[in-house]
Chains A and B, each alone.
Chain A
Amino acid sequence: MSTVTTAGGGRARGRGERGVGKSILLHATLLAAVAVSLFPIVWLFLTSLKPRDGWLSSELEIFNQPSLDNYVRVLTETQFPTWLLNSVIVAGLTTVIGVFLASTTGYAVSRFRFPGYRGVMWMLLVIQMFPVAILIVPLYNLMAGLGLLNQIPGLVIAYMTVAVPFCAWMMKSYFDSIPREIDQAGLVDGLTPFGAFWRVILPLARPSLAVTAFYSFMTAWGEVAYATVFMSQEEKRTLAIGLQQFVGQHWSDWGLLTAAAVLIAVPAAIVFLLVQRHLVTGLTAGATKS
């Protein structure tokens, strides 16, 4: 609640003016929050730079004999590169297929009021909340029957169930924000409804397509449950399960784990920071348009 009162107190003096004490308090609060949010990440990075068994020390040392030993070992002595490749393929395929399937649906539910509309909306909303637990066993049996266990397409198919409804929902919010007059202008110019969608609306929705693609990529990239169950062979694993091996029940090497974690987190974080401004808008657009 202290945050609330400081917020109100500042306005009493008029916008942008506040006492020195309040300024210090404000910055101190924010700095504390930043410290909490950054500390684990910084610590991860520092640990990864320690020498081979550096993580075993229980002393508080910030920087002691930095070395790239852990990175070298992760890249040369483990299956990390294979897992990375698997993850990229799985997440890439999920993204492409998911976004393609979802954009048509998103457009249809955004523009047309057709019989079955409510059913589709319900389905999209409810499937987003499907617990892993209910689908995983039947899907596992289905995959086993089709011989798709330990196969990348099998995992991609499983991720479709998560990605497609979510993407469709996101795309609908975005299409809602494009004025209908634009489609109508296309129709007047002689395009079919599909033509208007494909040639006029989709190009306009490019930013949203990018964000949706990013979301489904991240979903597939970080998924644990399906991957654990469907990909039991070592060379078929994705990163999320492969990493579990570094810190197993009998043997753990946090040096390897931290180096691998940095290698995964850095590219993900860079892309994330580039698109983050649009992420929330896409999700809450339906709610904020009022």
Chain B
Amino acid sequence: MALSTGRVNNTARDRAAGADGTRGRGRPPGGLRQGLDRHWYAWAMVAPVILVTALLVGWPLARGVYLSLTDATEANIGRTIGVNVIPSTYEFVWFDNYVAILTSGLFWEKLTWTVVWTVTCVAFHYGLGLGLALLLNRKLRFRSAYRLLLILPWAIPGFVSAFIWRYLYNSDFGVINAMLRAAGLGGVGWLDDPTTAKIAVIAVNVWMGVPFMMVAVLGGLQSIPGELYEAAEVDGATPWQRFCFITIPSLRTVSSTVVLLGTIWTFNMFPVIYLISGGGPGSSTEILVTYAFREAFTGVRDYSNSAAWGVIILLLLVVLAVVYRRSLRKQGEVW
């Protein structure tokens, strides 16, 4: 097998295809060879995605990490204007960007708000979703109608919802203020004050996210066998005990999946913040993702700094994934 690794795949695959008839399968042809014989079709099926992601994610990622170690901005990055090629003049500065970010109060402020935003939203999503699912999981007239109507916010594309809510929050013409005025209270400049703006964006995200949780939990509830409850009733368990010892444990797998998904989605929720408050007033409602985006694409585009923000955000999410995988493994998933 004196082949260069780059060509091993094709050559050996051809051989594997051609050699099948002449050589017995049981002959031990060496580890790599054996692997190719057994696994080449699996690898071939995975290959397109690996190639695409390597090209579209791997390369930009490597480039992003590299940029984060430089001081590149729009002003000093190489570019071509017409026939003139302007060479790059940015320099390698190692971890200066990271040090600057991690020692700035701004980062911790944004991180705190992002964590508050994510935890609050996911808690409300899950809590309300579970509550509504429990209500809908009972014998009830108009059950399908309720379910359908409650799901609607999910059916509206996210950016449309964001625009609707921005109109509702409008301090002059918005219906929320109109109601407050009709009730004799003064209008509130919802998006003009940091605190109310934060409450406002959280409310929108909760509104958008509850239906998914509700449907997911409802699916989980319906898969719990009724005999469990009957047996518990016979044994004299109170409703509360049945809820704690049957419902909650049975929902654990569904819950962990949807909570993880919800956490990632909320953490990276770009449209709600960007379209409703624009991160404002000031940068008070800016979460990490929108802040890094703003760094990269407003004013003098600061490529290196935003790349460093991106890397930090990614590391946070990877930690989350590791924790998640550990919990999956406890439940017996093998990988």
Contact = CB atoms under 8 A, between A and B. Distances in A.
Contact of A284 (B135, B155, B168, B216): B216
Interface in A68-110: 101-102, 104-105, 107-109
A257 interface: yes
B57 A135 contact: yes
Contact of A41 (B152, B256, B307): B152
Contacts of A188: none
Contacts of B210: 37
Contact of B60 (A5, A7, A138): A138
A112 B56 contact: no
B271 A224 contact: yes
B108 interface: no
Interface stretch (B7-15, B94-102, B115-123, B235-243): B235-243
B215 A287 contact: no
Interface in A95-151: 101-102, 104-105, 107-109, 111-112, 114-118, 120-121, 123, 125-139, 141-142, 144
Given A37-B207, A47-B167, A138 B59 contact: yes
A276 B164 contact: no
Nearest to B39: A114
Given A47-B167, A161-B56, A280-B216, A26 B140 contact: yes
- Mostly, the B contact residues are helix
Of listed A8, A120, A130, A131, residue having the most chain B CB within 10 A = A131
A276 B285 CA distance: 32
A258 B172 CA distance: 17
Of listed A16, A33, A244, residue having the most chain B CB within 10 A = A33
A258 B173 CA distance: 13
Given A34-B146, A133-B293, A290-B253, A269 B45 contact: no
A9 interface: yes
Given A222-B159, A224-B159, A272-B154, A104 B264 contact: no
Nearest to B139: A16
A104 B157 contact: no
B243 A288 contact: no
A24 interface: no
Nearest to B141: A27
Contact of B155 (A59, A194, A257, A273): A273
Contacts of B270: 132, 224-225
Given A15-B139, A240-B271, A243-B159, 5 more contacts: A132-B289, A133-B289, A137-B310, A161-B56, A164-B53
Interface of A: 3-12, 15-16, 26-27, 29-30, 33-34, 36-38, 40-41, 43-44, 47, 55-60, 101-102, 104-105, 107-109, 111-112, 114-118, 120-121, 123, 125-139, 141-142, 144, 157-158, 160-161, 164-165, 168, 192-194, 197, 218, 221-222, 224-225, 228-229, 239-240, 243-244, 247, 254, 257-258, 261, 264-265, 268-269, 272-273, 276, 279-281, 283-284, 286-288, 290
